[in-house]
Structure 1
Amino acid sequence: MNLSFYSGSVGAGAQQSKLDTIANNIANVNTVGYKSENAGFVDLLYSNINAPETQDSDLKVGSGVRYEKTDIKFMDGGLISTDNPLDFAIKGDGFFAVMDPADGEIRYTRDGSFKMSLQEDGEFYLATAKGDLVLSVDEEPIMMTEDQKSIDLETIGIFDFENKEGFLCVGDNLYVPVDKNGESYLKEDSSAVEKYLELSNVDLASEMNKLIEAQKAYQMTLRMVKTSEEIEETINNLR
């Protein structure tokens, strides 16, 4: 296969993935607690020109790029005031820890739009809109009474990790740590702010710039494929 066809096609696929990431950021510009994502690429195999593969050469030709990962930007977003005493924002670094009552899995979020939820044991707990239970500083579900209107801010646990690279986004503004993130710890120098929510940290102007760049790059890769096709057609006509 002509290498230019391959480089152009994989380049177009990579730029399409980048466009999808940008589109997701723009779509969530007004989503509470959303953290923007950035597409990461790596070079594919390089080959020597006019030299054996086992011999190093200064003349090399690449075979395109590959979409490798999506980095999450955990920069703080702005705060917006609400009248709901069960809305919370985090001042500083860290996450709220929430537990799925079905399987006990603990996940992490910056979205503090909580509510009071009645569970199967007949008790009320502080929970997310999806129904996950918010954990206290002791990593236990926060119990409430039926007529309780607010939560002691010192009760709500805020947890962080030494390394947040590689966090898995599982949807609904929820993140799951991987092995290299290590164990969570209580972030004592951060605090919860009542009746506030954290806005998305998406910079719309920056995303629009990235969108234009990705569109231009996508067009160039398709033009490479088209030009390669025209060259092959010309060669075939000369035979």
Structure 2
Amino acid sequence: MLRSMYSGISGMKGFQTKLDTIGNNIANVNTYGFKKGRVTFQDMMSQTMSGAQGPTVGAGGDNVRGGLNPSQVGLGSQVGSIDTIHTQGNRQTTNRPLDLSLEGDGMFILAEGGTEEIDPEVQTINLQNVNTSFTRAGNFYLDSDGAIVNNEGKYLVGQPEGEESAGIITIPDTAQSFSIQTDGSVNYVDENGDPQMAGQVRLANFSNPSGLEKIGGNSFQYTENAGAAIEGLDDLLVAGQDGTGQMVSGALEMSNVDLAESFTEMITAQRGFQANTRIITTSDEILQELVNLKR
């Protein structure tokens, strides 16, 4: 069978994966905090017809024949990587105090676990025992206890006021109003009209955010290739410090998907897929001609 037929099959598989990735990007064009994916290709192994040779040296030490380059036939392409691009998305103003966006690096930390990991009295968290995830989607809410959670009920991790460990930030039911500052400080006005501080939202920052693994729900989970693990309060960062971006209340970070770029990539992927199908049909016509030689 012709090698070109199998090369065309490998090319079709690769462009199909690229179209799947582009389709996912377009589907999440309005997903808060979504980070787009990118597919890269690499060539597969090549069949060597003849190896390289150096110049032939005669008896007198002079070259009597020049060297030869290798002759190789490629056997197609394959997916090299599927990257997650962590560039900044556009900011959309909502004027809702619990909508938070980050201008720069950093990610919100979410935690979920049982009462043995999260103390219901002081709302402290042992980050080594709970399930933590990370997100750029800043649409948060208050539960019945006044704790800040995301739309799945996962707690937003920070440092409660007066505590020396990571925990849940809670706003009392008697608070007249509250606000979140650019450094993540959560302030509220109590029933007497006096300003109080509930705590400070903390962030995580990774040396290689592309090493995080998507788990759905606009969230990522930690992998060893992302950088140092988040194990305690000392690993949590204040917004605007240590390389993290500032926190903006009343706004949300939108997806970083560019529709114009996505449609352009979709057209090129479609044409690449079609070109590889033509390789298969052309190879089939050649094989048919060979079969017809018997007639």
Normalised TM-score (structure 1): 0.88
SS for the counterpart of 2:217 is coil
1:170 alignment partner AA: I
| Aligned-partner residue type, residue 275 of structure 2 | M
* Residue in structure 2 matched with residue 45 of structure 1 by the alignment: 45
Q: Mark the runs of 5 or more structure 1 residues left unpaired by the alignment.
A: none
Structure-2 residue corresponding to 1:237: 292
2:226 alignment partner in structure 1: 181
SS in 2 for 1:96: strand
Structure 2 residue 162 is matched with structure 1 residue 150 = no
Following superposition, the deviation at residue 117 of structure 1 comes to 2.1
1:3-58 alpha-carbon deviations (Å, 9 max, x no partner): 21211111101101101111111111111111111112222111102459xxx962
Percentage of pairs with the same residue: 30
Q: Hey, what's the Cα distance between the residues in 1 that align with 2:206 and 2:19?
A: 30
Partner of 1:218: 273
Contact 2:109 2:133 (C-alpha < 8 Å) held by counterparts: yes
1:109 pairs with one of 123, 128, 135: 135
Q: How does 1:69-108 map to 2 (within 5 A)?
A: 69-101=81-113, 104-108=130-134
Q: Tell me the distance in 1 between the aligned counterparts of 2:74 and 2:279.
A: 14
My pick for the range that moved more, 216-225 or 169-178, is: 169-178
What secondary structure, in the 3-state scheme, does the structure 1 residue paired with 2:210 have? coil
Q: Is the 8 A contact 2:85 2:210 kept in 1?
A: no
Question: CA separation in 2, counterparts of 1:222 and 1:146?
Answer: 64
Cα deviations across residues 137-185 of structure 1 (Å, max 9, x unaligned)? 5542222323555354321112111122322111121112311222154
Name the CA distance, whole Å, in 1 between partners of 2:226 and 2:166.
18
CA contact (8 A) 1:49 1:57 kept: no
Structure 1 residues 208 and 147: alpha-carbon distance in aligned structure 2, compared to 1, 3 A threshold: farther
Question: 143-152 or 157-166: which moved more?
Answer: 143-152
Match of 2:211, SS state, is coil
- Asked whether the equivalents of residues 50 and 72 of structure 2 are also in contact (C-alpha less than 8 Å), the reply is no
**Mapped contact 1:71–1:166 kept (Cα < 8 A):** no
Higher helix residue share: 1
Q: Do the aligned residues in 1 keep the contact of 2:48 with 2:72 (CA within 8 Å)?
A: yes
CA RMSD of aligned residues (A): 2.2
Q: Corresponding residue for 2:152?
A: 130
Contact 1:86 1:150 in 2 (8 A): no
Q: Secondary structure at the match of 1:48?
A: strand
Q: What SS class does the counterpart of residue 14 from structure 2 fall into? A: helix
Equivalent residue, structure 1, for 2:32: 32
User: Which amino acid in 2 is paired with 1:215?
Assistant: Q
Q: Note the alpha carbon deviations across 1:94-124, whole angstroms, 9 max, x for none.
A: 1001113368211111000001124xxxx33
Match for 1:134: what amino acid? L
Q: More displaced, 227-236 or 41-50? A: 41-50
The letter of the residue matching 1:116 is L
Structure 1 segments of 4+ aligned residues over 4 angstroms from their partners: none
Q: Secondary structure at the match of 1:217?
A: helix
Which structure has the larger Rg?
2
SS at match of 1:135: strand
Aligned length: 232
Q: Which runs of 5+ in 2 are unaligned?
A: 53-67, 115-128, 160-164, 186-199
Return the TM-score normalized by structure 2.
Answer: 0.73
Alignment partner of 2:167 out of 136, 140, 162 = 140
The answer as to whether partners of 1:101 and 1:133 remain within 8 angstroms in 2 is: no
Question: 2-side partners of 1:70 and 1:125: how far apart?
Answer: 37
